[in-house]
C-alpha cells in the first residue's frame, strides 16, 4: 500500500509543478469548461451519485447544479481573487523609504480531500475545482461507495483540458487515508464528523500539516415572534426531510417564543400532509437516535411526531420532540438523521443564550421581518446565517461556508474558500537608493524616530506640525555637522 501511495504522490507532485506554471487565465478557462461539460453529462453524474434517500431531481438541485454554478463562479471571479496585487503606498510606512509591495496567492502543492458521503459530488467537487483553479494538484479520498461519481467528475476535468494526474481519486479505506497523511501532503481538506476530525488532526499534528476542517453541526432555527408560522413549518419540513436528514445544517434545534406555541403541532401536520416517507439511516446513527430520544423523553421532553427506531430497523420517519431543554444531549449532539427538537424560550435573548450551550457553530436560520432578523443575525455565533429560508441558499457559489467551535475552522466555497487553497507570499521591492536604517546616525537617534512617530500618528495637526518642525531642525543640524566635518577633512 505504501508503494501505491508514494506513486500517487509522485504523480501528483509532477502534475502540480506543470499545472501551476500554466497561466491563471488558462486554468480558469478550463474550470469554466467543466460547467458546460456538467450540463452535457448531468445524467452520468446523477446516475453515479449514491444517495439512497434522494430522487433524481433532488440530486440535480442539491449537487449537480450547484457544482456547475461553482465552476462558473470560480472561472469568472478567480482572477480577482488569485492574481497578484500591488499594495497602495498610501497606507504604508513612509518613514522606511520607498517600497513596492506585491501580494501573491500561491498554491499549496498537493491537496488531500477527505470527502463525506452525504453529498458525495457537491462538497468535494467544489473543493476540487477551487484547488485546481489555484494551481494545486488534488488527491480525493471518497467515502465508501462514493468513488464512482468522483471518477466521473475527473473524466470531465480531463475533457476540459485539465491534465491527467492533476486530480486523482484513490480508494475509500481509512487505512489508505492514514497512509497519505503519514507520507505527507501539503494541505488537507476534511468534511466529516467531530470524531473523524479529532483523529485526522491528531495525525496532522505530527507533521504540522495545515488543514481546513468542516465538521459536525447541530444547527438551530430561531423563530422570531413576528415570523409567519406557515412559512416556518414549510421550511422546517423541507429541511428535516432533505436527504433523509443527512445534512450537516439540517434543523436540529428550533427556538420558539410563546407566540409560536403551536409550532411543534404545526410541523407534525405539515410532515403528515407531505407524506413523511421513511429515510434509510445507518445502524450506528439509529442507535444514537434511540439513545438520545429516549434520554430526552425520560427528562421531560414530549414526542410529537414519529417513533423511536427499534432494534433491527434500517430506516426511520422524521421525529419531532417538544419541550426539549438546551442541556439535554439531543440538543448538543450531531445527529445525522431526521430529528428536530423544539426548545421553548421566553425571548430572543434567551434563545441566543440557549444556543451558546451547544458546542457546534456551523449554521443557523432566522425567520421573521428582515430588519429584525438581520439585527439578530449579527449576534449569532455561527459560520453561516440564513434569513427566511433554510439550507438551500448556502449552495449559492458566492457563499463562504465554514464552522466555528467544534464545527471546525477554515472555509470552503465562495471567494474565501478559493483563497483557502492558496498560501500568501509578500514580495517587497526597495525603490531608489535611500535606506535610512543603514545610516547609523538615524538608526541610533531615538529622538528622530520619536519625531517620525508623532508626524504619522499623533492626535491632531498641531502635534504633527510641531514634530515636523523639530525634525526639520534636527535634519538641518545634521547637515551642518556633515558640512563642517567635510571642511575639516579638506
222-240 pLDDT, tens per residue? 999 999 999 999 999 999 9
Nine-digit cell at 132? 485546481
Q: Cα separations (Å) of 135 from 89, 122, 142, 330, 392?
A: 29, 20, 21, 43, 29
Supply the CATH classification number for the domain 2-215+415-425: 3.40.605.10
Helix ranges (DSSP H) in 243-282: 263-273
Q: How confident is the model at residue 443 (pLDDT cuts 50, 70, 90)?
A: low
| CA nearest neighbour of 315 among 274, 291, 285 | 285
Are the C-beta atoms of residues 361 and 381 closer than 8 Å to each other?
A: yes
Percent of the chain with pLDDT over 90: 84
In three-state secondary structure terms, 356 is coil
Nine-digit cell at 245? 436528514
Cα–Cα distance, 378 to 365 (Å, whole number)? 12
Q: Is the pLDDT of residue 277 over 90?
A: no
Please say whether the structural domain 220-396 has been given the CATH code 3.40.309.10.
yes
Question: For 417, phi and psi rounded to 5 degrees?
Answer: -65, -35
Question: Looking at residue 176, what is its pLDDT?
Answer: 94
| CA nearest neighbour of 454 among 445, 446, 464, 444 | 464
Q: How confident is the model at residue 378 (pLDDT cuts 50, 70, 90)?
A: very high
The rounded radius of gyration (Å) of the Cα atoms in the chain is 28
| Rounded mean pLDDT, 2-9 | 93
256 DSSP β-pair partners: 223, 344
Question: Looking at residue 366, what is its pLDDT?
Answer: 98
CA dihedral 288, 277, 50, 66 (to 10 degrees): -100
Q: Is the pLDDT of residue 156 over 90?
A: yes
Question: Looking at residue 447, what is its pLDDT?
Answer: 87
Question: Which residues touch 365 (CB under 8 Å, ≥6 apart)?
Answer: 219, 220, 221, 222, 235, 239, 251, 385, 386, 387, 389, 390, 391
| CA nearest neighbour of 60 among 49, 52, 71, 74 | 49
Q: Taking the CA atoms of 300, 305, 310 and 314 in sequence, report the sign of the dihedral they define.
A: negative
CB-side exposure of 429: number of CA atoms within 13 Å? Answer: 9
Cα–Cα distance, 112 to 128 (Å, whole number)? 10
Domain ranges of the chain: 2-215+415-425, 220-396, 435-482
Question: Looking at residue 184, what is its pLDDT?
Answer: 92
Which helix (H) or strand (E) is 333 found in, with range? none
| CA nearest neighbour of 263 among 251, 281, 275, 248 | 251
444-478 pLDDT, tens per residue? 688 888 998 999 999 999 999 999 999 898 888 87
pTM: 0.92
160-215 pLDDT, tens per residue? 999 999 999 999 999 999 999 999 999 999 999 999 999 999 999 999 999 999 99
Exposure class string for 438-465: b at 16+ Cβ within 10 A, else e: eeeeeeeeeebeebbebbeeeeeeeeee
Amino acid at each position: 500500500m505504501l508503494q501505491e501511495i508514494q506513486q500517487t504522490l509522485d504523480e501528483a507532485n509532477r502534475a502540480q509543478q506543470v499545472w501551476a506554471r500554466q497561466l491563471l487565465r488558462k486554468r480558469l478557462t478550463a474550470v469554466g469548461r467543466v460547467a458546460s461539460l456538467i450540463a452535457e453529462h448531468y445524467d452520468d453524474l446523477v446516475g453515479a451519485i449514491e444517495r439512497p434517500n434522494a430522487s433524481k431531481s433532488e440530486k440535480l438541485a442539491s449537487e449537480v447544479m450547484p457544482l456547475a454554478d461553482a465552476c462558473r463562479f470560480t472561472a469568472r471571479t478567480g482572477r480577482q481573487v488569485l492574481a497578484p496585487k500591488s499594495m497602495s503606498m498610501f497606507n504604508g510606512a513612509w518613514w522606511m523609504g520607498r517600497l513596492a509591495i506585491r501580494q501573491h496567492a500561491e498554491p499549496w502543492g498537493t491537496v488531500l480531500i477527505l470527502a463525506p458521503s452525504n453529498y458525495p459530488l457537491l462538497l468535494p467537487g467544489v473543493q476540487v475545482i477551487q484547488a485546481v483553479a489555484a494551481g494545486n494538484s488534488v488527491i480525493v479520498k471518497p467515502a465508501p461507495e462514493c468513488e464512482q461519481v468522483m471518477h466521473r467528475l475527473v473524466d470531465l476535468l480531463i475533457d476540459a483540458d485539465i491534465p491527467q494526474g492533476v486530480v486523482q481519486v484513490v480508494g475509500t479505506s481509512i487505512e489508505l487515508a492514514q497512509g497519505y497523511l503519514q507520507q505527507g501532503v501539503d494541505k488537507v481538506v476534511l468534511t466529516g464528523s467531530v470524531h473523524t476530525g479529532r483523529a485526522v488532526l491528531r495525525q496532522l499534528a505530527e507533521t504540522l500539516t495545515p488543514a481546513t476542517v468542516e465538521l459536525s453541526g447541530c444547527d438551530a432555527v430561531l423563530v422570531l415572534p413576528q415570523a409567519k408560522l406557515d412559512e416556518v413549518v414549510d421550511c422546517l419540513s423541507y429541511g428535516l426531510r432533505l436527504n433523509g436528514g443527512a445534512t450537516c445544517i439540517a434543523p436540529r434545534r428550533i427556538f420558539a417564543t410563546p407566540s409560536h406555541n403551536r409550532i411543534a403541532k404545526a410541523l407534525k401536520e405539515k410532515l403528515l400532509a407531505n407524506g413523511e416517507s421513511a429515510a434509510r439511516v445507518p445502524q450506528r446513527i439509529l442507535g444514537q437516535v434511540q439513545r438520545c430520544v429516549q434520554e430526552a423523553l425520560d427528562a421531560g421532553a414530549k414526542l410529537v411526531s414519529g417513533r423511536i427506531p427499534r432494534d433491527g430497523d434500517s430506516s426511520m420517519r422524521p421525529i419531532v420532540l417538544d419541550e426539549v431543554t438546551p442541556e439535554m444531549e439531543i440538543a448538543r449532539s450531531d445527529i445525522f438523521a431526521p430529528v428536530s427538537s423544539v426548545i421553548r424560550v421566553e425571548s430572543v435573548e434567551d434563545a441566543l443564550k440557549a444556543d451558546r450551550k451547544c458546542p457546534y457553530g456551523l449554521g443557523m436560520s432566522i425567520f421573521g421581518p428582515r430588519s429584525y432578523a438581520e439585527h439578530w443575525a449579527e449576534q449569532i455565533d455561527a459560520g453561516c446565517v440564513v434569513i427566511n429560508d433554510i439550507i438551500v441558499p448556502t449552495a449559492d457559489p458566492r457563499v463562504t461556508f465554514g464552522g466555528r467551535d467544534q464545527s471546525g475552522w477554515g472555509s470552503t466555497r465562495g471567494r474565501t474558500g478559493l483563497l483557502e487553497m492558496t498560501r500568501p507570499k509578500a514580495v517587497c521591492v526597495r525603490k531608489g537608493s535611500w535606506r535610512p536604517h543603514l545610516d547609523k546616525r538615524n538608526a541610533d537617534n531615538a529622538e528622530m524616530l520619536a519625531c517620525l512617530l508623532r508626524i504619522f500618528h499623533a492626535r491632531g495637526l498641531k502635534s504633527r506640525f510641531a514634530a515636523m518642525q523639530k525634525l526639520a531642525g534636527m535634519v538641518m543640524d545634521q547637515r551642518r555637522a556633515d558640512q563642517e566635518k567635510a571642511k575639516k577633512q579638506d
